[in-house]
Amino acid sequence: MNPATGLPSRGNAAPGTLHILATPLGHLGDLSPRARETLASVDLIACEDTRYSGKLLNSFGIRTPTISYHEHNETSQARTLLDRLRQGRNIALISNAGTPLVSDPGYRLVHLCRKNRFPVSPVPGPTAAIAALSVSGLPTDRFLFAGFLSRQSGSMRRELAALKHLKATLILYVSPHRLASTLETARDVLGDRQACLAKEMTKIHEAFYVGALSRVSSLAGDRPKGEYTLVIEGAPSQAPAASGLDLEAYVEGLMQVRDLTRTQAVRSAARASGLPRQEVYRHCLKAEKRPGRREESGHT
């Protein structure tokens, strides 16, 4: 019995190899020849969804046996697959689309393999995060992949607040039913930064929405469908407050000259400064409460 895994030992037989294999985001032509060869030659394919992956395998005439491996059975299946590897079986791990472990199951299995010194080999291919970054038009020299944000509004705001000062380009995965709330919260917390929203990449309805977050939000529509990857520019290299912009005076000037409401003026100031709207509002609120400030009641 192996004390590290609780699994029976198999003598000195060489363990099989775990292949972390990337599959197409949508276009079948993106499955590489090496990936096809690997899928056809391994003893077992661990799939996030056997029915979904079965369509891909059938389209290439691949008859390799499959086994289900997803977030709900990952803990138990990881040990089952480790036992198969111990027996000398070669296994390919695939997700529904893209590269496994990138916001998909697989970490526990790879961790156990590394812990027990079993071979793990990548078969590289499509990854939605990198594909979206490459066409975003935003800086690519430094980026942070944050995956899916929390479903709860408060937690989402806190997660974005923790990222807002990073100068790295941000990459997020967004489900369609949370797209509107994510774009609105990102704009509110990060400011109206430049962004690129990638929809259904490599598929029939592929689309890219580029511009400020407010513009991207309006272009995305009211009834989003499909898979989305959101790329957002990082924090400005120079703090907006250090640029000499007097937020209080700027907001007041917008209200008087352009006849804007305070809300509209704060929104414009946020865009101009790169600061979140709430931060601009809090700054102006503090200024109003400053000792010695004359009340703007209209009386002299």
The CATH number assigned to the domain with range 138-232 reads 3.30.950.10
Of 90-99, 121-130, 241-250, 273-282, the one with minimum mean pLDDT is: 241-250
Span 110-135, pLDDT tens digits: 999 999 999 999 999 999 999 999 99
Span 193-208, pLDDT tens digits: 999 999 999 999 999 9
Q: What are the extents of the domains in the chain?
A: 18-126, 138-232, 240-288
Of 13-17, 33-37, 114-118, 230-234, the one with minimum mean pLDDT is: 13-17
Span 224-254, pLDDT tens digits: 889 999 999 999 865 444 445 677 777 887 7
User: With 80 as the cut, is the pLDDT of residue 286 above it?
Assistant: no
- Helix, strand or coil, per DSSP, at residue 123: strand
Are the beta carbons of 96 and 83 closer than 8 angstroms? no
CA separation for the pair 193, 187 (Å, rounded): 7
Q: Which two tokens stand for residue 276?
A: 């979140």
What single letter denotes the amino acid at residue 299?
H
Range 44-70 average pLDDT = 97
The CATH number assigned to the domain with range 18-126 reads 3.40.1010.10
CA 232-235-239 angle, 5° bins: 155
Residues with Cβ within 8 Å of residue 198, at least 6 apart in sequence: 128, 131, 132, 135, 136, 207, 208, 228, 229, 230, 231
Of 6-10, 185-189, 273-277, the one with minimum mean pLDDT is: 6-10
Q: What percent of the chain is modeled with pLDDT above 70?
A: 88
CA separation for the pair 275, 269 (Å, rounded): 8
pLDDT at 42: 98
The per-residue pLDDT of the chain, averaged, comes to 88
pLDDT at 269: 81
Confirm whether 18-126 and 138-232 share one CATH topology: no
